[in-house]
Amino acid sequence: MVLTLNFMTTNVLQSLFALSGKPTALHIGVGVWLATVCNLPLWIALGKIVDTSSLGGTAFIFAFCVAIAAANTALLSLFAFGPWRRLVLSAFIVIAALSSHFMLTYGVVIDTGMATNTIQTDIKEVQDLLNLRLFVTVLLLAGPPLWWIWRTKTSSRKFGQVLVWHIGTVIGSMMLVVSITFMAFQPLASTMRDHTKIRYLINPFNSLYAFGKSIKGSQSLSASELLPVGQDARVSVADQRNEDPVLFLIVGETARAASFPAYGYERPTTPRLSGRDDIFYAANAWSCGTSTAESLPCMFSPLGRTEFLSRSQDTENLLEVLQRAGLAVLWLDNQSGCKGICKRVPTAVPSASPEHSSCAQLETCQDTIMLSGIAERIKSLPAESRKRGTVVVLHQMGSHGPAYYRRSSPERKVFMPECTSSALQSCKQGEVKNAYDNSIVETDYFLSQSIQWLSDNSGSSATAMLYVSDHGESLGEGNLYLHGLPYALAPDEQKKIPWIFWMSAPMTTQLGISPKCLQKEMKEKSISHDNYFHTVLGVMGVQTSIYNPTFDVLSSCRR
């Protein structure tokens, strides 16, 4: 294979030289640049897998690189044509440079989940990701080819001639890809099979595939009608309560179980919760996805992870079933939105109200602002529904990165010094941990304040709080940062989540729960977001054929 490759390389270089000044010379040049410079994360990853000290290993990497360059050239020759030529070439380069930056800086890969997150991002999230390192990387990776593209004069050849060159380049490049695949089939197939991460690193095909799949998936789902579920939902008469019961569903953001003392963490990140003996921790709780866009719709869905991922039609969610049962439902958001879950229930964004304009301007509104004015917000819900029960979702900003230092107020900054950059690799790992841990201290404060509010305002009503994070986070372990790796590749830090439950004495009586049994049950059972839907229905006493007590975390401890 090595001799054949040497021969082929000479031919490729000769052809490249002969092509300079021809209509597709730019396409070939950009194709090679994308394959080599813009694929740095791929070559670093392959360098760790393949034995580069052997001739065979080096030849394999070289052949892989030539195949990607040829595939890029074919792709560019197909799409970068006529008046759009420069724009299309530039777009490919900028996309590849940006994804290289994120892969190099945070160890993420570009898959469908990441594409969906990017599509659903907002200006605040984008601002958090902007830093000097991003500008320098993009300038180095995209600057030279962009300069070349925009200074090259437009060809004066006739359309027919240019077309022939494009068709010829596509055919020639594809023949090269096929020949290399054929020659290096065995090592190529085994590398792709044994190291699935590699396929998500190939620029710019990873982005094209992921964004294409994400857009196609969301289009086909949004085109289909919403499947109604729990149409028979009602709050049972036998279960009618004396006064308005209230449940706070606190949706955590980017909180990993590994940073909570209840899950074995050695630092006191939850001083307020740790001092209480009426808190129930699920010792083994797992998220549905590794990003907000994946986890949120899945945890509120009745389907469970496996069915949710293979669904061809979207169903109504937990909030719609609660509302149909006659309960009052309210979604409060301190995040970048509810990913479509709260579309059909009342919502409010407390940081948008005038009294919070100062923190909103600084983008440092801590989650406790969701509690200010909450009594009035609840009172504005229909009184008839509130009699049956109220469910308030509080969607946290939590520990959303990479700007962790913005996620805690000065009073909660117990671990210092903090990393104050969003380029996490430029900070010491201890400083990244400090900033992240302070955000958990802030969450601990928010959860305690929420419990306090429920205790103070409930009177004799049954009240409860269920805090579950959407996914976890990597903080530099294995050189990985943030979250969003494909589920099969993601480490436990991104998937193991805190699941914390508190209930008032009237709620304990109303549900007929044995606290001792529940402590034991939650310590021993392995649960996931699959349990969320049914547990909430159980707490609010909603009867419907879709409720499955097997998935209700509390059901086996009810008398």
Rule CB under 5 A: which residues touch Zn ion?
253, 292, 470
Which residue, 68 or 424, has its beta carbon nearer to Zn ion?
424
Which C-beta is closer to Zn ion: that of 395 or that of 412? 395
Least distance CB 472 / Zn ion (angstroms): 9
Q: Which residue is nearest to Zn ion (CB)?
A: 292
Tell the residue number behind the tokens 């930056």, with chain if given.
101
CB of 289 to Zn ion, least distance (A): 9
Please state whether the peptide bond connecting residue 486 to the residue before it is cis, i.e. omega within 30 degrees of 0: no
* Minimal distance, residue 32 CB to Zn ion, in Å: 38
Up-side HSE of residue 490: CA atoms within 13 Å toward CB?
A: 29
Question: Do 34 and 146 meet the contact criterion of CB atoms below 8 Å apart?
Answer: no
- For residues 204 and 398, which CB has a smaller minimum distance to Zn ion in the complex? 398
| Preceding omega of 417 cis (within 30 degrees of 0) | yes
Give least dist CB 347 to Zn ion, A: 18
Task: Give whichever of 351 and 469 is closer to Zn ion, judged by the CB atom.
Answer: 469
Closest approach of Cβ 447 to Zn ion, in Å? 17
Q: State both tokens at 165.
A: 């060159």
Sign of the CA dihedral with 361 first, then 367, 373, and 378 last? positive
Residue 335 corresponds to which tokens in the numbers above?
A: 């995040």
Tokens matching residue 206: 């990873």
Tell me the two tokens of residue 514. Answer: 């044995």
- Judged on CB neighbours under 10 Å (0-12, 13-18, 19+), 547 is buried
Which residue lies nearer to Zn ion by CB, 128 or 243? 128
In the complex, least distance from residue 285 CB atom to Zn ion, rounded to whole angstroms:
15
Task: Find out whether 469 and 255 touch, Cβ atoms under 8 Å.
Answer: yes
Q: 495, 286 in Cβ contact below 8 A?
A: yes
Q: Give min distance, CB of 290 to Zn ion, in A.
A: 9
Nearest distance in Å: CB 121, Zn ion: 11
> Rounded distance, CA 298 to CA 304, Å?
7
Task: Please identify, using beta-carbon distances, which residue of 244 and 253 lies nearer to Zn ion.
Answer: 253
Looking at the Cβ atoms of 293 and 503, the one nearer to Zn ion is 293
129/141 with CB nearer Zn ion: 129
Q: What is the 3-state secondary structure (H, E, C) of 391-415?
A: EEEEECCCCCCCCHHHHCCHHHCCC
Q: Encoding tokens for residue 259?
A: 């940073």
